[in-house]
Amino acid sequence: MEFVSDRVKSLPPYIFSQFQQRKKQLEAQGRDIIDLGIGAPDLPTPDFIINELKQEAEDPINHRYSSYHGCYEFREAVANFYQEHYDVDLDPETEVLALIGSKEGLANLMTAITNPADDVLIPDPGYPVYQSAIHLAGAKSQYFKLHPDKGYQPQFQSINSQLLHRAKLMLLNYPSNPTAATAELSTFMEAISYAKKYNFAIAHDAAYSLVTFNQYRAPSILQVEGAKDIAVEFGSLSKSFNMTGWRIGYVVGNKEIIRALSVVKSNTDTSQFLPIQKAAAKALNSDFTIVKEHNSIYQQRMEKIIPALQSLGLNVTKSMATFFVWAPVPEGFTSMEFAESMLEEAGVIITPGVAFGPSGEGYFRISLSVPDDRLEEAVLRMKKLKTGGVNQA
């Protein structure tokens, strides 16, 4: 370990990998494991996007470096998307930046705007990458709690005001991974007014903005008047268009933050392969019927799993967005114990809530990104566990 930096050595342990290792061992023993821990779509990328990639890949003009900000077609497609979906004006030159997936952008954002030991406010429970990215950049993460009885909305008045004064940046994420909580514009309005009062920036992670059900439409934080003064929003094609492996996303909003981030990126990665950007532009310029089709598949899966979980005595409700179900663990279990017993006894991987921060204790996350027959099988096994295992444990 002599050559490994303190920053890397002191990274918090990745709880997911522990279950993946155990999964491999059990599979080697011939056990069939259903993995409801994976936070990525199981469905393929739509054909029209793949065809565009193929076509663009044939053209030598696309084999060169992309411009640092990403190609104009992609940035323009993002700006058009914001105009049509949110009625938000964006200048493709200065207010849109292409990313190699939103995770890349979130990680580089920390280097772009924080100084060593700066405080960054992050949701608890929340996406674990925030904490690691802040740590790797040498800044300090500070949790703000999200309570189930407050709909997992930030309670700004209960965040220490010293901390609000010190904070450089706050991260928000709606619709949320892992809680599947959604926000209305009023949450963003309050966030923007606190950020202006206490002088911190806001980065809204909108990775699930298009994975929504029924009439619900997730707002953009940029719909709040004056949001661009202090906020950026991260978007991704990974979840909406089943493009996780393509690595394409974007950040929009405040010019200075975007410029700072593009300085880091121009010295690091020189943007994404042009045919991928152009295929993603095609996706954003489409009519989004394909996204609705994906969403209805998740919704059908949710209709199946919710009653099954309820029959186990778990208090769960349908969410309006994301492909996650966030549920309380049965009485008498920590979230780790419950996840371990689900894997050992039922052969089903779920994610213990504690993996998302201390306030995730007492909950677990199920991902609906497995084919229907596997999901049904997982439900059957859980029911068996209820009668044969969990209850007696």
Beta carbon nearer to ligand PLP, 16 or 198: 16
Closest CA to 205 of 132, 264, 126: 126
Taking residue 115's Cβ as centre, other Cβ atoms within 10 Å add up to 9
Taking residue 358's Cβ as centre, other Cβ atoms within 10 Å add up to 11
Q: Tell me the residue ranges of DSSP E strands in the chain.
A: 34-35, 96-99, 119-124, 140-145, 169-173, 201-205, 231-236, 249-253, 324-328, 348-349, 351-352, 363-367
Q: How far, in Å, CA of 237 to CA of 220, rounded?
A: 16
Q: Could you tell me which stretch among 99-107, 148-156, 163-171, 254-262 binds ligand PLP (CB under 6 A)?
A: 99-107
Of the candidates 108, 187, 244, 369, which one interacts with ligand PLP according to CB under 6 A?
244
Beta carbon nearer to ligand PLP, 238 or 341: 238
Beta carbon nearer to ligand PLP, 278 or 381: 278
The residue whose two tokens read 């370990």 is 1
124 binds ligand PLP (CB under 6 A): no
- Asked whether the beta carbons of 329 and 362 are under 8 A apart, the reply is yes
Closest CA to 207 of 247, 182, 236: 236
45 binds ligand PLP (CB under 6 A): no
User: CB 90 → ligand PLP: shortest distance, Å?
Assistant: 19
Q: Give the distance between the most distant pair of CA atoms in the chain.
A: 65
- Asked whether the beta carbons of 234 and 249 are under 8 A apart, the reply is yes
Q: Which helix (H) or strand (E) holds 58?
A: helix 47-58
272 binds ligand PLP (CB under 6 A): no
Beta carbon nearer to ligand PLP, 39 or 253: 39
Sequence-distant (≥ 6) Cβ neighbours of residue 363 within 8 angstroms: 125, 178, 326, 327, 328, 329, 335, 353
Beta carbon nearer to ligand PLP, 114 or 176: 176
Single-letter amino acid, residue 307: P
Beta carbon nearer to ligand PLP, 244 or 272: 244
Interface characters, 142-181, with ligand PLP (x: CB under 6 A): -------------------------------x---x----
Taking residue 266's Cβ as centre, other Cβ atoms within 10 Å add up to 13
Beta carbon nearer to ligand PLP, 341 or 359: 359
102 binds ligand PLP (CB under 6 A): yes
Name the token pair of 196: 């202006």
Q: Could you tell me which stretch among 16-24, 96-104, 139-147, 188-196 binds ligand PLP (CB under 6 A)?
A: 96-104
Interface characters, 17-36, with ligand PLP (x: CB under 6 A): --------------------
Name the token pair of 371: 């084919």
User: CB 93 → ligand PLP: shortest distance, Å?
Assistant: 23
Interface characters, 203-232, with ligand PLP (x: CB under 6 A): --x-x-------------------------
101 binds ligand PLP (CB under 6 A): yes
Binding footprint of ligand PLP on the chain (CB under 6 A): 39, 101-103, 127, 173, 177, 205, 207, 236, 238, 244, 249
